[in-house]
Amino acid sequence: MTKMSGAQAIVEALKRQKVKKIFGIIGGALLPVYDVLYDTPEIRHILVRHEQCAAHAADGYARASGQPGVCMATSGPGATNLVTGIANAYMDSSPIIAITGQVNAFGVNSSYLIGKDAFQEADIIGITTPITKHNYQPKRASDIPETVKQAFYIATTGKPGPVLIDLPKNAQTETVEMKFTDNVEIRGYKPKTSPHPLQVKKTVELLSKAERPIVLAGGGVITSNASPELLALTELLMAPVATPLMGKGCFPENHPLSLGNIGMHGTSAASRLILEADVLLAVGTRFSDRTTGKLDEFCPDARIVHIDIDAAEIGKNIEVEIPIVADAKKTLRAIYKSLASKLRKSDSSPWYKRVQEVKEQLKEETSGSEKDLKPPRLIKELRKILPSDGIVATEVGQNQMWAALHFMAYEPRTFISSGGLGTMGFGFPASIGAKVACPSRPVVDIAGDGSFRMTEQELGTSVEEEIPVTVIVMNNSVLGMVAQWQRLFYGRRYSAVKLGSTPDFIKLAEAYGAEGIRVGSLKEFSKAVRRAIKSEVTTVIDVPISPEENVFPMMPPRAGLKGIVESEEEL
Amino acid sequence: MNEKSHIIAAIVEHKPGVLYGVANMFRRRNFNIESISVGRTEQSDLARMTITVNGDERTVEQVTKQLNKLIDVIKVSRLDPASIVSREMALVKISAPGAKARSDIINYADIFRARVVDISSESLMVEITGNPDKIDAFIDLMKPFGVKEVARTGITALSRGTKSVRIEE
């Protein structure tokens, strides 16, 4: 027991959780906490320029490191500015802790109390209830140690997700005897991690008889660090692996069994082969509409095994034959162990041959002249330059889908993208967070000009805080993905998509003290990237591309995987 | 779709914000609450919610799972209609200006095992307990007299026998 203020208690509790970095913006309702941080060299506070980016940076930090990211904002507008970032983390099951200031819950002057519409008061508990895994409002300083302990436990276990702690100012200033404990006991929260042996047995029986098995590996594989187990099992089964966006990186995409991305802009090989499969092993994925398209055309002939740590994902979007509610790593290991004695598959199986045949048939050639700056070529060039542990974050839109299709991820946690919420402006702050988590590795944000404009002010953060990242702006002066839909499905009526040529991204970068490089050929692009990833300052590479570019393959609206098309002519 | 009424019992933390969390989840997931009744249990830090939901099997399964996912919800059980006692209580205020109407209402109330709990020169208040169908029938019967106000509690229910939805301390 030690006597301390609530503000000291929260910082102490964060230290006990091994928090080393916080992304945030100070404000009136958090002054006591920031005053303690002033004397806490063990925790680095990174001052961002907008609270949304504090949450995205914490999210990027979490995805790159596997450790929870922490963001902080003051009451009222500070807290509400976090909302998009929290919703983004919630949709993609990313463990972040958001700490917000709040007006007094108890005090001498009742006009400053919660519920009186005090200055900079917002009901952030009410606002974030549907977009957090859980939230807390410790009204007394003495509640803080246990609250923080529980918050981290909930955020990082089971299906991870954001947890918000709303700190009334009186809870920060009160000084009381604090009790810190290492035990967490939450009677309403007991995540199950071990697979049911009977379900594993059924799965093993099904897989051992499967002739055309296919694996759908989602973000849960990355969360549970199950990539080695996934690789072992798929090689035993000789089953190809398709990844929804969130799973990208969980399986090396240069492996012969990799089919790359599946979904609305998935590869043709993945879309075609899943239709032929007789057994689908889905692990750590929630069958989102962007992944499956029309449900009755999604692997119509396959019997489905669904492994997910969240019981509520079973049967939510799709009915499956064998559900397993458990941790992906433990389950894949259990399946492998019992299957290894039953199965000897070789690369002479007809299914493996078929997989290679389809992959070969659909292998696309990218060629063109030196001046031809097609996004797929740019992204393939980037892959050649980046080391295999180099981290790519993306914005949202065409840039993201080109990255998903053409950037081969070799390792987990090297591809960071806003999957569920589709948040434009996510990539840049997320790449700052990733760079903070992995300072020795190059971090590149694959951006479009529309998305980059949404959070470009974070150039200030990256320069002032010395967090150098590379931003590749594929610049078509248009909101490209929407323009693509208008081109293909709305008779080229380009409503509200033209952004014009402002700002000049080179001048913008320079205004912030960053570096800006405009490139006009593939060679220049390559040179600029090589330089940027070694630079000690953030570099914006402005690459003019045609506003007429489309992302293909594409599953047209309301279609299924069968309806996926390779070009505008096929529509 | 095979839609019918299901009764779910949830034991939850008895503290502020929990009902909001539950109601919010129903709204957000596009489930409908037919009725909900909440009260403290024999353990003072726990509350029991009895929730009636309409839907097919898959929907109710999802409701149960999503409820379970809420941190402040400790235990969720679907109650089997064949082996529970379920009751709803209603207070019904009926216009009764004359002696004839008044005695008719009192007679009907007797048949429904309901009780007159308040009386004034212009109206009667009746307390009735039973399953929702019985209460519906009584209210229908009162309509010709003029139903001025109805307050219903929603269903509350317990399993028969020794089986219980309870948290061991």
The CATH number of whichever domain residue A35 belongs to comes to 3.40.50.970
Do A187 and B167 count as a contact with CB atoms less than 8 A apart? Answer: yes
Quick one: B90 and B32 in the same domain?
Answer: no
Q: Which residue of B has its CA nearest to A319?
A: B58
Torsion sign over Cα A172, A178, A183, A186: negative
According to the model, what pLDDT value does residue A516 have?
Answer: 98
pLDDT (0 to 100) of residue B97: 87
Over residues A307-337, the pLDDT tens digits come to: 999 999 999 999 999 999 999 999 999 999 9
Residue B161 located in a structural domain: no
What's the pLDDT score for residue A90? 98
Q: Which of A316, A338, A361 is where one domain is finished?
A: A361
What is the bridge-based pairing of β-strands A258-261 and B84-95? unpaired
Rounded to a whole number, what is the distance in Å from the CA of B7 to chain A's nearest CA?
A: 19
Could you tell me if residue B10 is inside a domain? yes
Contacts of B63 in chain A (CB under 8 A): none
Asked if A130 and B20 come within 8 Å (Cβ–Cβ), the reply is: no
| A324 belongs to a structural domain | yes
Are A356 and A256 in contact by the 8 Å Cβ rule? The answer is yes
Chain A neighbors of B66, CB-CB under 8 A: 312
> Among A361, A396, A413, which residue terminates a domain?
A361
Please report, rounded to a whole number, the percentage of residues in chain B having pLDDT higher than 70: 98
B167: chain A residues, CB-CB within 8 Å: 187
- Letter for the amino acid at A346? S
Tokens of A62: 């979490």
Q: Which of A357-366, A442-451, B91-100 has the lowest mean pLDDT?
A: A357-366
Q: What band does A365 get if pLDDT is binned at 50, 70 and 90?
A: low
CB contact under 8 A, A315 and B62: yes
Residue B1 clears pLDDT 60, i.e. is over it: no
Tell me the per-residue pLDDT of A239-296, one tens digit each, with 9 for 90 and over: 999 999 999 999 999 999 999 999 999 999 999 999 999 999 999 999 999 999 998 8
Q: Among B32, B54, B79, identify where a domain stops.
A: B79
- Given A305, A335, A361, the domain boundary residue is A361
pLDDT value of residue A107: 80
Cα–Cα dist B156/B36, whole Å: 8
- Residue B3 has what pLDDT? 78
Range of the domain at A276: 197-361
CB contact under 8 A, A188 and B61: no
Q: Shortest CB distance from A316 goes to which of B62, B71, B167?
A: B62
Q: Is 80 exceeded by the pLDDT of residue A350?
A: yes
Helix boundaries (H) for chain B:
18-28, 57-69, 99-111, 132-142
Q: Are residues A432 and A543 in the same domain?
A: yes
Task: Name the domain count of chain B.
Answer: 2
Shared domain for B24 and B49, answered yes or no, is: yes
* Whole-Å CA distances, A373 to A2, A377, B108: 63, 7, 85
Residue A316 with chain B: CB contacts under 8 Å: 62, 65
Signed CA dihedral, A554, A423, A434, A467: sign only = positive
Distances (CA, A) of B34 to A94, A231, A357, B30: 34, 48, 55, 13
CA dist A87 → A80, A98, A315, B63 (Å):
11, 11, 23, 21
Q: Is the pLDDT of residue A484 over 90?
A: yes
The residue type at A219: G
The answer on B49 and B12 residing in a single domain is yes
Interface predicted TM-score (ipTM)? 0.92
> Angle at CA A157, nearest 5°, toward A241 and A152?
135
- Tens digit of pLDDT for each residue in A402-429? 999 999 999 999 999 999 999 999 999 9
Question: Burial level of A276, CB count in 10 A (0-12/13-18/19+)?
Answer: middle
Of B79, B103, B135, the position where a domain reaches its end is: B79
The answer to whether residue B115 sits within a structural domain is yes
Sorting pLDDT into bands at 50, 70 and 90, what band is A348? confident
Q: Give A126's contacts in chain B (Cβ within 8 Å).
A: 20
Last residue of a domain, one of B37, B54, B79: B79
Same domain, yes or no: A387 and A516:
yes
CB-based burial, A75-91: b 16+ in 10 Å, e otherwise: bbebbbbbbbbbbbbbb
Amino acid A110: pLDDT: 64
> Is position A269 within any domain?
yes
Report pLDDT for A367: 66
Read off the CATH number of the domain in which A295 is found.
Answer: 3.40.50.1220
Q: Which residues contact A445 (CB under 8 A, 6 or more apart)?
A: A392, A393, A394, A395, A427, A428, A430, A431, A452, A469, A470, A471, A472
In A, which residues are within 8 Å of B59 by CB distance? none
At B111-163, the pLDDT tens digits run 999 999 999 999 999 999 999 999 999 999 999 999 999 999 999 999 998 87
Structural tokens at position A107: 């005090």
- Res A366: pLDDT: 62
List, for residues A510-525, the tens digit of each pLDDT value.
Answer: 999 999 999 999 999 9
User: Given an 8 Å threshold on Cβ–Cβ distance, is A130 in contact with B74?
Assistant: no
Catalytic residues of A: 51, 119-120, 169, 481
Query: Looking at the structure, do residues B41 and B65 belong to the same domain, yes or no?
Result: yes
Residue owning tokens 């590996």: A217
Q: Is pLDDT above 80 for B14? A: yes
Per residue in A157-198, pLDDT (tens digit) is 999 999 999 999 999 999 999 999 999 999 999 998 999 999
pLDDT at A558: 87
- Asked whether the beta carbons of residue B65 and residue A187 sit closer than 8 angstroms, the reply is no
Domain membership of residue B14 (yes or no) is yes
The amino acid present at A245, given as its one-letter code, is: L
Q: Does residue A265 share a domain with residue A162? A: no
Spell out which residues of chain B touch residue A129, defining contact as CB-CB under 8 Å. 17, 20-21, 24
Beta pairing partners, A46 = A23
For residue A433, give the nearest of A36, A44, A38, A13 by alpha carbon: A44
Task: Measure Cα distances from A226 to A67, A108, A206, A478 in Å.
Answer: 16, 53, 21, 39
pLDDT recorded at residue B165:
76
Query: How close B52 comes to chain A (CA, Å)?
Result: 19
Residues A548 and A444 in one domain: yes
Q: Give A310→chain B minimum CA distance, Å.
A: 8
CB contact under 8 A, A312 and B61: no
Do the Cβ atoms of B71 and A189 come within 8 Å? Answer: yes
Pinpoint the alpha helices (H) of A327-445: 328-340, 350-361, 375-385, 398-406, 427-437
Rounded percentage of chain A residues whose pLDDT exceeds 70: 98
Q: Is the pLDDT score of A533 beyond 60?
A: yes
Asked if residue A447 belongs to a domain, the reply is yes
- Say if A457 falls within a structural domain: yes
Instruction: Give chain A's domain count.
Output: 3
Q: Are residues A345 and A432 in the same domain?
A: no
Q: Closest Cα to residue A421, out of A163, A242, A245?
A: A245
Average pLDDT over residues B82-96: 95
DSSP state of A478: B
* Mean pLDDT of chain A, nearest integer: 96
B16 and B71 in a common domain: yes
Cβ-based interface (< 8 Å): residues of B facing A: 12-13, 17, 20-21, 24-25, 28, 58, 61-62, 65-66, 68-74, 167
- Domain with B63 in it: what CATH number? 3.30.70.260
pLDDT at A164: 98
Residue of B nearest to A185 (CA): B71
Report the SS3 class of residue A333: helix
Q: Are B21 and B47 a contacting pair, CB within 8 Å?
A: no
Do residue A271 and residue A330 come from a single domain?
yes
Q: Is residue B169 part of a domain?
A: no
- The DSSP call for residue A212 is S
Distance between first and last Cα of chain A: 70
Q: Which residue of B has its CA nearest to A325?
A: B65
Whether residue B152 is contained in a domain is answered as yes
Residue A59 phi, psi dihedral angles, 5° rounding: -65, -45
Residue contact A129–B24, C-beta within 8 A = yes
- Bridge partners (DSSP) of residue B5 are B54
Q: How far is the C-alpha of A430 from the C-alpha of A419, rounded, in Å?
A: 13
**Facing A188 at nearest CB: one of B13, B20, B28:** B13
Q: Could you report the per-residue pLDDT of A558-568, keeping only the tens digit for each?
A: 889 999 999 99
Residues 6 or more apart in contact with residue A161 via CB below 8 angstroms: A89, A90, A93, A94, A95, A132, A133, A154, A155
Q: Are residues B62 and B123 in the same domain?
A: no
Q: Which of A164, A189, A190 to mutate to test the interface with B (most CBs of B within 10 A)?
A: A189
CA angle A256, A258, A262 (to 5 degrees): 155
In this structure, what token pair is assigned to residue A35?
């005053």
- Residue-level pLDDT at A112: 67
Residue A529 within any structural domain of the chain: yes
For A69, which DSSP code? E
Is the separation of the CB atoms in B135 and B61 below 8 Å? no
Cβ pair A311:B74 closer than 8 A:
no
Looking at beta carbons, which residues of chain A come within 8 Å of B24?
129-130
Question: Are B105 and B46 in a shared domain?
Answer: no
pLDDT of residue B161: 87
Please check whether residues B72 and B115 belong to one and the same domain. no
Question: Mind listing the pLDDT tens digit for each residue in A96-148?
Answer: 999 999 999 988 666 668 998 999 999 999 999 999 999 999 999 999 999 99
d(CA A340, CA B46): 48
- Let me know if residue B121 belongs to a domain: yes
- Stretch B87-113: mean pLDDT: 95
Give the tokens for residue A571.
């529509």
Q: Which residues contact B4 (CB under 8 A, 6 or more apart)?
A: B54
B112 and B66 housed in the same domain: no
Boundaries of domain holding B55: 4-79
What is d(CA A395, CA A424) in angstroms, rounded to the nearest whole number?
6
Q: Is residue B101 part of a domain?
A: yes
Residue B81, both tokens:
């209609």
Our CA-based measurement puts residue B139 at a distance from the nearest CA of chain A, in whole angstroms, of: 37
Q: B169: pLDDT confidence band, cut at 50, 70 and 90?
A: low
What percent of chain A is predicted at pLDDT more than 90? 91
